[in-house]
Structure 1
Amino acid sequence: MAGATVLVSLQQLKGFLGISHFTTKMEIIPVLSSVFSHKDEIGKLPMGVNPPSSNMLCFHGPYLAVAIKTGIVAGILSLTEGIAVGGTFAALENYQVDGNKELMAIGLMNIAGSCSSCYITTGSFSRSAVNRNAGAKTVVSNIIMAAAVLVTLLFLMPLFYYTPNVILAAIIIASVIELIDYQSAFLLWKVDKLDFLACLCSFLGVLFISAPWVSPLEPNTMALGNIPGTQIYHNLSRYKEALRVPSFFILAVESPVYFANSTYLQERILRWVCEEEERREVNNESQLKCTILDMTGRKILEKRSLQVFLLVLANPVGNVMRKLHQSSILKSFGPNGLHLSVGEAVADISSQWKAQP
């Protein structure tokens, strides 16, 4: 994210210097070369809204196949970028992004835009940063923004004729620069040098090579149940004799947790918890009070993923414990946040509940 922030800031140099013919590439070297090879050029701002283009829609012609292929690729890229930008701000503001809703929103937005001469649109990194910096919390901000833009396009464009581009560029740079989380980089260096090296390589790769779209390894999770008469907990979907523990939800993480998949893991855990609460409510079962993460076999735990685990951990191995001690997250667990096994966690927390008045 820091690399993308720097690139967005560099792209605003055209606003600072009044350059109209600017490179479309995002790497740092083409951007700086474009800055030093052009002069100040400011043109007239057009007034009014785009003309309707629904009458141009046709399903025949020699370029129909090319248009369909281009539309599919553009749609996939638009959705990917929208979810990526949404996930970035969701992690900062501690909320979840629903991929299905994003797909519907971006799809309907581009269908409507195609009928009014608009180019393909998706989640804007710079505008989202400005929105967040302004304190926007709900979709009402988008409605107000759309109304303000419409009024501006229809009536106020002549007033902006002499407005320097540097002002608009400064707003974007001041907003996105706050997204560089240098404190996390310092903490990452303290917790794990190899993870810091991976983070640094990612930053430099985005800065000098551009940002390729990659799919992080999705950590596998499964709900556990107790085998009656034992302290053994197994997958509920595989072992039919396994039973759910009243008031507890036990979740096992079967894959290493890296910075690349920690956000996905957080979303998956919260989705598990929401589904479990709905299931208990439908079946009139006891209310969910505690979620236990079984960390058996997890040998890798990266710093960013530590911020996800604000629950109860069972049987974290030595390497995980070492990183927990090196970070500040361990204090949030309290004296009863870590247990040697799932059975011990269930018994200890149950006894605490019984002791409460």
Structure 2
Amino acid sequence: MRTKLSRYLPILEWGRDYNRSILADDLMAAVIVTIMLIPQSLAYALLAGLPPVVGLYASILPLMLYALFGTSRTLAVGPVAVISLMTASAAGSVAAQGTAEYLEAAITLAMLSGVMLAILGLLRAGFLANLLSHPVISGFITASGILIATSQIKHILGVDAGGDNWPAMLGSLALAIGDTNGWTLAVGIPATLFLFWVRKGGSPALQVMGVRQRSADLVTKASPILAVALSILAVIALELGERNVSLVGPIPQGLPPFAIRGTDIALIEKLWVPALLISVIGFVESVSVAQTLAAKRRQRISPDQELIGLGSANIASALSGGYPVTGGFARSAVNFDAGAQTPAAGAFTAAGIALATLFLTPLLFNLPIATLAATIIVAVLSLVDLKTPGQLWRYSKTDFIAHAVTIAITLLAGVEMGVIAGVGVGLVLYLWRASRPHAAIVGRVPETEHFRNIARHKVFTVPHVLSIRIDEALTYLNARWLEEYVLEEVADRPAVRHVILMCSAVNEVDASGLESLEAINHRLGDGGIGLHLSEVKGPVMDRLKRTRFIEELNGKVFLSQDKAFAEVSLDTGEPPAPVDHYLARGLI
């Protein structure tokens, strides 16, 4: 009973071995992640078009719920860049930023996403993580990183600009660049340069000063808090608020308000599709991060339970006035490097964020929005992968097409259309490949029992035997193609009297595949040509035996390709030759 319950409440599993040593590691990790998460949460709420405090709200209760239901020991849940951008796109389609309706839309997205993820988890649908191919995800994240970075340039310049896609953003920035606020630029540029430098040079500089590598790495990753502190001091010292430098302003003190929201049916009808896309993208991103970190410690996660964990986190976010959340790579990596041992580190981080909302928010009044924009730009540009397109072009042209189309549509039409187009193109290309399976004419490698492609190897064949190896399952997608392929190859070889289908790679034959095999059998039989099968797998053979195909087959079914080739090669349709003739050709 305990084992079954712990499957849905993983805390019962890791909680049994919890001790002081683990507590100390989790607390240390929580302190580091809390320092990092405060400016990140504010920045990502800004990216989502929401009041900064909403980012803090989305970083408290969701972490606690994930600690109860999640299976990753080190995944840190909260607002992330890509989901924030998708939230802004979805909520912006039904309401204007800064309105109560916009906030309600964001909360509704969190609730819908949470319910969808939880239901999928209960249905054990974790396999859905495999439906989005890596090229599509990589292309979407790269394009999203470019969109996010571009959208934040206006805050660095201190201008009013917008746009729903990349060309519109660039055009709007070009028109507004003449209105650049020099004081805002004087804050944004140094903050951006500092954050870029500290990513690469911060840790080596600290190590030169005598700091241990691990400590230097952790301090470097928490460096945005230093940028925040310095920029606040600059605002106060230079009175930049009076020079039209945009500031965060007043942030409500106190814990997030708890209320049941996201129940407007009309709003749900408008947002369920974007919520589904947010759910899928968030789940795939989170599972990818969780599996990567778990593998480093030889741990495992359960994708089905991760759906429930992320679902509960999003429902908790909606109930506490937040917006959609998922597992983030940057903060999870920091959590891992800081030595977090269990999900309790996330709960301690939530407590730290809660204390910040209670006592520290007045200190953030003078925080320049340009600094938060710099934090976002530096964070998301690491998502832009310029190496993958070249690698995909060399390895798989079809995957490159899916990757490139996803990038192009996301940049030109927005994030939602980018996801839909990427998935659609990926499925179309998959179906196209599946409809044209690989098949090869094979011959026997001399002095062996192995058969290989005649186009790649020096092999032995005989004119009256055509051996075809099928390298895919026979389904409705490719059955007709196989039928045409076999008959065309036979038509090109008038001497053929036997066709052997080598089925070692055929894992399934559906009804359409069976129909094509029957058609091939009848067509070849009408021409006086025998059809034989070799190396048919047991489950496939079991299904074929339940039909009349085996009885009507005008040839035989052989256990091995070598046995089939040796036997049918003797049948030339001509008077028998001396035994020496067959011995000389290696047929017997």
Shorter-normalised TM range: 0.3 to 0.5
Whose Rg is larger? 2
Counting helix residues as a fraction of each chain, which structure ranks higher? Answer: 2
Query: What TM-score results when the alignment is normalised by the length of structure 2?
Result: 0.31
